[in-house]
Structure 1
Amino acid sequence: MSQQYFIVDPRSRKNVLQSIGNSWKNIKHYLYKNYIKDHNDNPEAEELLNPPLSYPSVKKDEWKVFVAHRLSKAWQDQSKKNKEVRAKNKYNHRLSRKGHAGLTVEIMQETGKEETILKGRCCGKRLENLKLEDSNQMSKRLLIKLYLYERIKNGPIQDHGICFVTASATMTDERKTKSKHIDESSKLLAKRLCNRNKNDIIIVPYNPGKHWVLAVLDMKTTTCYYLDSLRPIDVNPELKQIVDSAMVLYAVTTGSDMRVKVNWVNSKCPTQPGCTECGYYILNFMKEIVHEGLQILINNNVGGGKTEYADADFDDVREEWSSYASHFIYR
């Protein structure tokens, strides 16, 4: 006897339902491709009368309904339309396989801007140390930062003196030891601080491993605000070492007499309900900080007092990112 229902942890509900949905979509595509597609012009074919022997759980009346739906003109028209839309995709859903460097070249071709301008102005005035990244999430964050930068410089958003650090500067690498990773990341961050062009609010996205967090460094007060949608008690220790060491290196390099001891603040922020939402949460955090400036962190008001973001809160991020990214995806 098969189990009729399952009890799912609320924190994993969204992920489980997405997985079920993908599996359901895949099996329908497989059945159509292997048992129905060759008979599109002959709906009365004998092979379509009974469900495949390989799937004894599929009942005959269910199979009949499924075949009729897939052979209907409405479904065929929709399928054709989807294929036409898919054919317009320039990069085959692998925008970031080329990495940040490849994307920079692409943006140069699309916008006509020189590489020095892109490196010096996009993504926080200087997008340095570009590395190849094999992750769609990396390109999303790169384009969101490009978009936010354009909104600051060419749009209605007030420029609060914000600049960004590319996530690849602090990206973990399993081939490196922990101490080497911290040392190299600290040097890259210190170099970025030296080239910040009098911008005092530094946004540093960081991924310690399968989870995104955010550090926002206020150079005027040497305070670093830490935002983690899992709301841990303590700041991530590796990120803390990277920022602390970078501040010391920055002071030595520039000869500054500023206080280098960083005051860390574990900021209050909305908490993600599951285990896959951290990326959207970090994007939303960045967007709110770009719009409101440092005051939103000082007032402990990231998320506007919400304990958890709703899907509707991400609609603007999704729409704005997809609209901006479409300039680089479609011809």
Structure 2
Amino acid sequence: MTEEETIPIEFDEAMFGRNVSTSLLREDIMRCMEMREIGSRQILVYMGYLYKYLKETNRAEYVSFVDPNKIPAAQDGSTSSQHIANQLKASNGDSICLIPYNTGGVRTYLCMRGNPKRPTFKQLTGNLKQQGCVECGYCVMRYMKEIVECEDLQLERKFAGCVKNQYYTQTQYDDVRIEWSEFVYSYLK
């Protein structure tokens, strides 16, 4: 693949409720293959893999996705919070919503629901941690994989038993990198 070539990837419209596509650059692929820091484009592609898995297992209606590339950056978080709130409002209220975004809260969504005091969702905690400085994106992908593969919808039970300061292994990161690579490869055929 040359520096100028791209791999166009189009996602199922049902995944985000609208047409979403991206193009991977050679650099995007090299970052993942060399276990370098990755960004939202690579995470978006992995979300496509997870959605495909959910469709194949007839569980796609249980999970909603928010496109990480469409969460605008704002210094105070207000624009980002509004976008996330809009995505949550459009999602299936009974589904697990994967939002690969580092945010401190979603009060805007709660206010839109008319209930600013009592959360109508749970943020999962207790997942394994990253040990170094480049694993953040891989850690997010691995955590999403564990959520999607869990057939018990009471996810807080699954993650409640995680030991503090327990880390993902390189093998666990490699699992998601392989799945990511196979999904990308399917677009080359």
TM-score by length of 1: 0.44
Rounded Cα–Cα distance in structure 2 between residues aligned with 1:245 and 1:314? 33
Larger Rg belongs to: 1
**Which residue, 150, 171, 182 being the options, matches 1:323?**
182
Deviations 1:185-228 (CA, angstroms, capped at 9, x unpaired):
22212221222144421111114xxxxxxxxxxxxxxxxxxxxx
8 A contact 1:152–1:159 mirrored in 2 = yes
Within-5 A mapping of 1:115-264: 118=11, 120-121=13-14, 124-127=15-18, 136=28, 137-153=39-55, 155-156=56-57, 158-159=59-60, 161-172=62-73, 176-178=74-76, 182-207=77-102, 239-241=103-105, 243-249=106-112, 251=113, 261-262=118-119
Task: Please tell me the residue identity of whatever aligns with 1:166.
Answer: D
Tell me the matched-pair count. Answer: 176
After TM superposition, list the pairs within 5 Å mapping 1:28-107 onto structure 2: 89=1, 92=3, 95=6, 106-107=8-9
Deviations 1:72-112 (A, max 9, x none): xxxxxxxxxxxxxxxxx2x63875xxxxxxx7xx345xxxx
- Do 1:273 and 1:308's aligned partners in 2 also have CA atoms closer than 8 Å? yes
Q: Distance in 2 between matches of 1:120 and 1:184?
A: 24
Which residue number corresponds to residue 32 of structure 2?
none
Q: Which has the higher contact order (CA 8 A, sep 6+)?
A: 2
The residue identity in structure 1 corresponding to 2:96 is: I
Q: Which one of the candidate residues 131, 144, 148 is aligned to 1:273?
A: 131
Counterpart of 1:312 (choices 152, 171, 177) is 171
Write the distance in 1 (CA, Å) between the matches of 2:149 and 2:90. 23
Name the structure where helix makes up a greater proportion of residues. 1
The alignment partner of 1:205 has SS state of coil
When residues 275 and 94 of structure 1 are mapped into structure 2, their CA distance, relative to the original with a 3 A threshold, is farther
Q: Could you tell me which amino acid in structure 1 is paired with residue 129 of structure 2?
A: T
In the TM superposition, what is the alpha-carbon distance from 1:266 to its structure 2 partner?
Answer: 6.6
Whole-Å Cα distance in 2 between the matches of residues 147 and 139 of structure 1? Answer: 13
Cα distance between partner residues in 1 of 2:41 and 2:177 = 14
Q: Say whether the 8 Å CA contact 1:158–1:291 is kept in structure 2.
A: no
SS for the counterpart of 2:99 is strand
- CA–CA separation in structure 2 for the residues paired with 1:157 and 1:170: 28
Unaligned runs of 5+ in 1: 1-88, 96-102, 109-117, 208-238, 253-257
Residues of 2 paired with 1:188 and 1:147: CA distance? 23
Q: Equivalent residue of 1:286, what SS? A: helix
Give the conservation status (yes or no) of the 8 Å contact 2:110–2:116. no
- 2:36 aligned partner: none
Aligned-residue Cα RMSD (Å) equals: 3.6
Is the 2:72–2:79 Cα contact (8 Å) retained in structure 1? no
Matching residue's letter, 1:120: E
Q: Which residue of 2 aligns with 1:36?
A: none
8 A contact 2:126–2:160 mirrored in 1: yes
The whole-number CA distance in structure 2 between the counterparts of 1:192 and 1:144 is 19
